[in-house]
Amino acid sequence: MKICRFNGKRIGVVEGSTVREVSDVLDELPALTWPVAHGDHVIRHLPELIERIGTPPAGDARPILQLSDLRLDSPVANPSRIIAAPLNYPLHIGEGHDPAINHGVHMPSYDGFATPIDKFGLFLKSQTGLVGPGQGITLHLPGRRTDHELELAVVIGKGGKEIVRADALAHVAGYSIALDVTVRGPEDRSFRKSPDSYSVLGPWLVTADEIDDPDDLDLELSVNGIRRQASNTCELIVDVRDLIVRASAMYELFPGDIIMTGTPDGVGELAAGDIVHARISKIGAMDIAVV
Protein backbone atom coordinates (compact mmCIF):
# COMPACT_ATOMS: atom_id res chain seq x y z
CA MET A 1 0.00 0.00 0.00
CA LYS A 2 1.21 3.52 -0.82
CA ILE A 3 0.08 6.02 1.81
CA CYS A 4 0.54 9.72 1.23
CA ARG A 5 -0.01 12.82 3.34
CA PHE A 6 -1.16 15.87 1.43
CA ASN A 7 -2.37 19.43 1.82
CA GLY A 8 -1.40 19.50 5.48
CA LYS A 9 -3.70 17.21 7.47
CA ARG A 10 -5.10 14.82 4.89
CA ILE A 11 -4.01 11.29 4.02
CA GLY A 12 -4.80 9.00 1.16
CA VAL A 13 -3.97 5.79 -0.64
CA VAL A 14 -2.14 6.21 -3.94
CA GLU A 15 -3.70 4.16 -6.73
CA GLY A 16 -1.94 4.87 -10.00
CA SER A 17 -2.48 8.52 -10.91
CA THR A 18 -5.20 9.03 -8.29
CA VAL A 19 -5.45 9.21 -4.51
CA ARG A 20 -8.33 7.73 -2.55
CA GLU A 21 -8.70 10.04 0.41
CA VAL A 22 -9.03 8.22 3.72
CA SER A 23 -8.58 11.12 6.16
CA ASP A 24 -11.67 10.00 8.07
CA VAL A 25 -9.72 7.09 9.57
CA LEU A 26 -7.74 9.64 11.58
CA ASP A 27 -10.86 10.15 13.68
CA GLU A 28 -10.27 6.63 15.03
CA LEU A 29 -6.87 7.50 16.51
CA PRO A 30 -6.69 7.42 20.32
CA ALA A 31 -6.66 10.82 21.96
CA LEU A 32 -3.23 12.19 22.80
CA THR A 33 -2.48 12.99 26.44
CA TRP A 34 0.40 14.92 27.97
CA PRO A 35 3.24 14.08 28.07
CA VAL A 36 2.93 12.92 24.48
CA ALA A 37 4.74 9.66 23.75
CA HIS A 38 7.80 9.86 21.53
CA GLY A 39 7.17 9.02 17.91
CA ASP A 40 4.61 9.61 15.19
CA HIS A 41 1.01 9.01 16.28
CA VAL A 42 -0.18 7.78 12.88
CA ILE A 43 2.77 5.45 12.28
CA ARG A 44 2.31 3.98 15.77
CA HIS A 45 -1.26 3.01 14.88
CA LEU A 46 -0.65 2.26 11.21
CA PRO A 47 -1.56 -1.46 11.40
CA GLU A 48 -5.06 -0.66 12.68
CA LEU A 49 -5.45 2.20 10.20
CA ILE A 50 -4.44 -0.03 7.30
CA GLU A 51 -7.08 -2.55 8.34
CA ARG A 52 -9.73 0.18 8.27
CA ILE A 53 -8.44 1.61 5.00
CA GLY A 54 -8.53 -1.80 3.38
CA THR A 55 -12.18 -2.39 4.27
CA PRO A 56 -14.05 0.77 3.20
CA PRO A 57 -17.59 1.10 4.53
CA ALA A 58 -20.62 0.19 2.42
CA GLY A 59 -21.49 2.98 0.06
CA ASP A 60 -18.05 4.48 0.51
CA ALA A 61 -18.22 8.05 -0.78
CA ARG A 62 -14.67 9.11 0.03
CA PRO A 63 -13.30 11.27 -2.77
CA ILE A 64 -10.95 10.11 -5.51
CA LEU A 65 -8.46 12.88 -6.25
CA GLN A 66 -5.95 13.45 -9.02
CA LEU A 67 -2.45 12.97 -7.66
CA SER A 68 -1.15 15.81 -9.83
CA ASP A 69 -3.50 18.27 -8.10
CA LEU A 70 -2.15 17.63 -4.59
CA ARG A 71 0.73 19.12 -2.61
CA LEU A 72 2.51 16.09 -1.18
CA ASP A 73 3.90 16.46 2.32
CA SER A 74 6.29 14.20 4.16
CA PRO A 75 4.45 10.91 4.80
CA VAL A 76 5.83 11.02 8.35
CA ALA A 77 4.77 14.14 10.23
CA ASN A 78 6.50 13.82 13.61
CA PRO A 79 9.55 11.55 13.74
CA SER A 80 11.42 11.52 17.02
CA ARG A 81 14.68 11.24 15.11
CA ILE A 82 16.19 11.33 11.67
CA ILE A 83 19.18 9.00 11.82
CA ALA A 84 21.61 9.07 8.91
CA ALA A 85 24.50 6.98 7.63
CA PRO A 86 27.64 8.65 6.27
CA LEU A 87 29.80 7.26 3.47
CA ASN A 88 27.81 4.06 2.91
CA TYR A 89 28.47 3.47 -0.82
CA PRO A 90 31.98 2.60 -2.10
CA LEU A 91 31.99 5.05 -5.01
CA HIS A 92 30.77 7.89 -2.81
CA ILE A 93 33.77 7.27 -0.59
CA GLY A 94 35.95 7.80 -3.65
CA GLU A 95 34.37 11.10 -4.62
CA GLY A 96 34.55 12.17 -0.98
CA HIS A 97 38.27 12.78 -1.43
CA ASP A 98 37.36 15.94 -3.36
CA PRO A 99 38.35 18.90 -1.10
CA ALA A 100 35.14 20.69 -2.17
CA ILE A 101 33.25 17.90 -0.41
CA ASN A 102 35.39 17.07 2.61
CA HIS A 103 36.95 20.49 3.35
CA GLY A 104 39.88 18.66 4.91
CA VAL A 105 37.97 17.68 8.05
CA HIS A 106 35.64 14.86 6.97
CA MET A 107 38.15 12.68 5.17
CA PRO A 108 36.56 9.48 3.82
CA SER A 109 39.17 7.06 5.11
CA TYR A 110 38.83 3.81 7.03
CA ASP A 111 41.85 4.24 9.34
CA GLY A 112 41.80 0.52 10.14
CA PHE A 113 38.04 0.36 10.74
CA ALA A 114 35.92 -2.21 8.93
CA THR A 115 33.64 0.45 7.40
CA PRO A 116 33.42 4.25 7.47
CA ILE A 117 30.38 3.89 9.74
CA ASP A 118 32.52 1.95 12.22
CA LYS A 119 34.82 4.98 12.19
CA PHE A 120 32.33 7.87 12.16
CA GLY A 121 29.18 6.23 13.54
CA LEU A 122 25.69 7.33 12.55
CA PHE A 123 24.61 10.94 12.93
CA LEU A 124 21.39 12.81 13.65
CA LYS A 125 19.55 15.41 11.58
CA SER A 126 17.04 17.83 13.06
CA GLN A 127 13.54 16.47 12.58
CA THR A 128 12.25 20.02 12.18
CA GLY A 129 14.04 20.20 8.82
CA LEU A 130 11.73 17.52 7.39
CA VAL A 131 9.56 18.45 4.39
CA GLY A 132 7.68 16.73 1.62
CA PRO A 133 8.34 17.13 -2.09
CA GLY A 134 5.53 19.66 -2.45
CA GLN A 135 7.24 22.05 -0.04
CA GLY A 136 10.54 22.15 -1.89
CA ILE A 137 14.07 22.99 -0.79
CA THR A 138 15.01 26.48 0.37
CA LEU A 139 18.74 27.11 0.07
CA HIS A 140 20.58 28.50 3.09
CA LEU A 141 24.00 30.20 3.41
CA PRO A 142 24.28 31.90 0.00
CA GLY A 143 27.72 31.49 -1.50
CA ARG A 144 28.24 28.06 0.07
CA ARG A 145 27.95 24.89 -1.99
CA THR A 146 24.78 22.90 -1.20
CA ASP A 147 24.50 19.35 -2.59
CA HIS A 148 21.79 16.77 -3.21
CA GLU A 149 22.23 13.29 -1.73
CA LEU A 150 19.66 10.66 -2.80
CA GLU A 151 18.92 7.96 -0.22
CA LEU A 152 16.56 5.12 0.62
CA ALA A 153 14.65 6.00 3.78
CA VAL A 154 13.53 3.35 6.26
CA VAL A 155 10.59 4.29 8.50
CA ILE A 156 10.40 2.44 11.80
CA GLY A 157 7.00 1.02 12.70
CA LYS A 158 7.51 -1.07 15.81
CA GLY A 159 9.97 0.58 18.15
CA GLY A 160 12.61 -1.20 20.14
CA LYS A 161 16.05 -1.20 21.72
CA GLU A 162 18.97 -3.48 20.85
CA ILE A 163 17.14 -5.06 17.94
CA VAL A 164 18.83 -8.17 16.55
CA ARG A 165 19.53 -8.58 12.86
CA ALA A 166 17.09 -11.45 12.35
CA ASP A 167 14.22 -9.27 13.62
CA ALA A 168 15.27 -5.96 12.07
CA LEU A 169 12.89 -5.81 9.12
CA ALA A 170 9.95 -6.73 11.34
CA HIS A 171 10.39 -3.29 12.92
CA VAL A 172 9.94 -1.45 9.59
CA ALA A 173 6.63 0.25 8.76
CA GLY A 174 7.70 1.11 5.24
CA TYR A 175 10.09 2.82 2.87
CA SER A 176 10.32 6.15 1.15
CA ILE A 177 12.65 8.28 -0.94
CA ALA A 178 14.85 10.78 0.89
CA LEU A 179 17.07 13.67 -0.03
CA ASP A 180 19.78 14.43 2.49
CA VAL A 181 20.53 18.02 1.43
CA THR A 182 23.95 19.14 2.59
CA VAL A 183 25.86 22.40 2.92
CA ARG A 184 29.54 21.73 2.31
CA GLY A 185 31.96 23.10 4.86
CA PRO A 186 34.10 22.36 7.92
CA GLU A 187 31.28 22.25 10.48
CA ASP A 188 29.83 19.10 12.04
CA ARG A 189 27.69 17.00 9.67
CA SER A 190 24.57 17.38 11.78
CA PHE A 191 24.79 21.17 11.61
CA ARG A 192 25.29 21.29 7.84
CA LYS A 193 22.53 18.79 7.11
CA SER A 194 19.83 20.12 9.45
CA PRO A 195 18.61 23.46 8.06
CA ASP A 196 14.91 23.80 7.41
CA SER A 197 13.86 21.83 4.29
CA TYR A 198 17.16 19.90 4.11
CA SER A 199 15.48 16.55 4.78
CA VAL A 200 13.02 15.74 2.01
CA LEU A 201 10.86 12.61 2.37
CA GLY A 202 8.31 11.31 -0.10
CA PRO A 203 6.44 11.03 -2.24
CA TRP A 204 4.62 8.54 0.01
CA LEU A 205 5.21 5.65 2.37
CA VAL A 206 5.30 2.22 0.72
CA THR A 207 4.35 -0.33 3.37
CA ALA A 208 6.98 -2.92 4.18
CA ASP A 209 4.96 -5.84 2.79
CA GLU A 210 5.40 -4.44 -0.75
CA ILE A 211 9.21 -4.58 -0.65
CA ASP A 212 10.72 -8.02 -0.12
CA ASP A 213 14.34 -6.89 -0.16
CA PRO A 214 15.27 -3.27 0.62
CA ASP A 215 18.87 -4.15 -0.26
CA ASP A 216 18.02 -4.55 -3.95
CA LEU A 217 16.42 -1.32 -5.14
CA ASP A 218 17.51 0.91 -8.01
CA LEU A 219 18.07 4.58 -7.20
CA GLU A 220 18.31 7.45 -9.66
CA LEU A 221 18.40 11.24 -9.41
CA SER A 222 18.47 13.90 -12.08
CA VAL A 223 18.60 17.69 -11.94
CA ASN A 224 16.88 19.62 -14.72
CA GLY A 225 16.66 16.39 -16.72
CA ILE A 226 20.36 15.52 -16.44
CA ARG A 227 21.12 12.30 -14.55
CA ARG A 228 23.60 12.70 -11.71
CA GLN A 229 23.14 9.70 -9.40
CA ALA A 230 22.34 6.08 -10.24
CA SER A 231 23.00 2.97 -8.18
CA ASN A 232 21.34 0.08 -6.36
CA THR A 233 20.99 -0.46 -2.62
CA CYS A 234 22.84 -3.77 -3.07
CA GLU A 235 25.93 -1.50 -3.05
CA LEU A 236 25.31 -0.42 0.55
CA ILE A 237 28.38 -1.13 2.68
CA VAL A 238 26.28 -1.44 5.83
CA ASP A 239 22.93 -2.88 4.78
CA VAL A 240 19.45 -1.95 5.98
CA ARG A 241 19.23 -4.64 8.65
CA ASP A 242 22.59 -3.73 10.13
CA LEU A 243 21.74 -0.02 10.14
CA ILE A 244 18.66 -0.81 12.24
CA VAL A 245 20.78 -2.93 14.57
CA ARG A 246 23.39 -0.20 14.98
CA ALA A 247 20.86 2.57 15.49
CA SER A 248 18.89 0.60 18.09
CA ALA A 249 22.06 -0.23 20.00
CA MET A 250 22.42 3.48 20.80
CA TYR A 251 18.85 4.77 20.75
CA GLU A 252 15.51 3.27 21.63
CA LEU A 253 13.71 3.52 18.31
CA PHE A 254 10.15 4.85 18.14
CA PRO A 255 7.41 4.59 15.51
CA GLY A 256 8.09 7.08 12.76
CA ASP A 257 11.83 7.29 13.30
CA ILE A 258 13.54 7.69 9.92
CA ILE A 259 16.83 6.04 8.97
CA MET A 260 18.50 7.56 5.90
CA THR A 261 20.72 4.80 4.59
CA GLY A 262 23.43 6.77 2.76
CA THR A 263 23.93 8.20 -0.72
CA PRO A 264 25.67 6.78 -3.78
CA ASP A 265 28.20 8.69 -5.85
CA GLY A 266 27.23 11.58 -8.10
CA VAL A 267 26.37 14.15 -5.43
CA GLY A 268 26.27 17.62 -6.89
CA GLU A 269 25.47 21.25 -6.32
CA LEU A 270 21.97 22.67 -6.29
CA ALA A 271 20.93 26.15 -7.39
CA ALA A 272 17.75 28.14 -7.08
CA GLY A 273 15.39 27.24 -9.89
CA ASP A 274 16.55 23.62 -10.18
CA ILE A 275 14.05 20.78 -10.39
CA VAL A 276 15.25 17.57 -8.77
CA HIS A 277 13.72 14.28 -9.93
CA ALA A 278 14.33 11.36 -7.56
CA ARG A 279 13.27 7.76 -8.16
CA ILE A 280 13.63 4.46 -6.30
CA SER A 281 12.27 1.25 -7.79
CA LYS A 282 9.18 -0.25 -6.10
CA ILE A 283 8.61 3.07 -4.33
CA GLY A 284 8.03 5.67 -7.02
CA ALA A 285 9.36 9.07 -8.02
CA MET A 286 9.07 12.68 -6.93
CA ASP A 287 9.99 16.13 -8.21
CA ILE A 288 11.32 18.77 -5.84
CA ALA A 289 11.78 22.46 -6.65
CA VAL A 290 14.78 24.37 -5.29
CA VAL A 291 14.18 28.00 -4.30
List pLDDT tens digits, range 147-184: 999 999 999 999 999 999 999 999 999 999 999 999 99
- Residue 104's pLDDT band (cuts 50, 70, 90): confident
Residue after which a domain boundary falls, among 43, 72, 101: 72
- Claim to verify: residue 100 and residue 67 sit in the same structural domain: no
- Claim to verify: residue 28 and residue 163 sit in the same structural domain: no
Residue after which a domain boundary falls, among 50, 72, 94: 72
User: Domain holding 254: CATH number?
Assistant: 3.90.850.10
Whether the predicted pLDDT of 58 surpasses 70: no
Does 77 fall in a domain?
no
- Claim to verify: residue 161 and residue 193 sit in the same structural domain: yes
Cβ 137 vs Cβ 181: under 8 Å: yes
- Claim to verify: residue 121 and residue 17 sit in the same structural domain: no
Structure confidence at residue 54 (pLDDT): 78
C-alpha 120/C-alpha 68 separation (Å) is 41
How many separate domains does the chain show? Answer: 2
Q: Which residue has the higher pLDDT, 97 or 105?
A: 97
Averaged pLDDT score across all residues of the chain: 95
Q: Which domain range does residue 232 map to? A: 82-289
SS3 (DSSP) at 222: strand
Does 247 fall in a domain?
yes
Structure confidence at residue 59 (pLDDT): 65
- Claim to verify: residue 173 and residue 219 sit in the same structural domain: yes
Whether the predicted pLDDT of 90 surpasses 70: yes
C-alpha 282/C-alpha 252 separation (Å) is 29
- Claim to verify: residue 164 and residue 273 sit in the same structural domain: yes
- Claim to verify: residue 60 and residue 86 sit in the same structural domain: no
Mean pLDDT of 269-274: 98
Mean pLDDT of 225-238: 98
Lowest-confidence region among 61-65, 78-82, 96-100, 124-128: 61-65
pTM: 0.96
Rounded alpha-carbon distances, angstroms, from residue 261 to 21, 22, 88, 233, 254: 30, 30, 7, 9, 17
Whether the predicted pLDDT of 56 surpasses 70: no
Structure confidence at residue 109 (pLDDT): 83
Whether the predicted pLDDT of 60 surpasses 80: no
Q: What is the DSSP string of 9-38?
A: TEEEEEETTEEEE-GGGGGGSPPP-SSPPS
- Claim to verify: residue 186 and residue 111 sit in the same structural domain: yes
Identify the bridge partners of residue 160 per DSSP, sorted by sequence position: 253
Mean pLDDT of 189-215: 97
Whether the predicted pLDDT of 97 surpasses 80: yes
% of the chain beyond a pLDDT of 70: 98
- Claim to verify: residue 58 and residue 193 sit in the same structural domain: no
For residue range 30-52, list pLDDT tens digits in order: 999 999 999 999 999 999 999 88
The closest alpha carbon to 199, from 103, 20, 75, 33, belongs to 75
Does 175 fall in a domain?
yes
Q: How many helices (H) and strands (E) does the chain have?
A: 7, 19
Does 234 fall in a domain?
yes
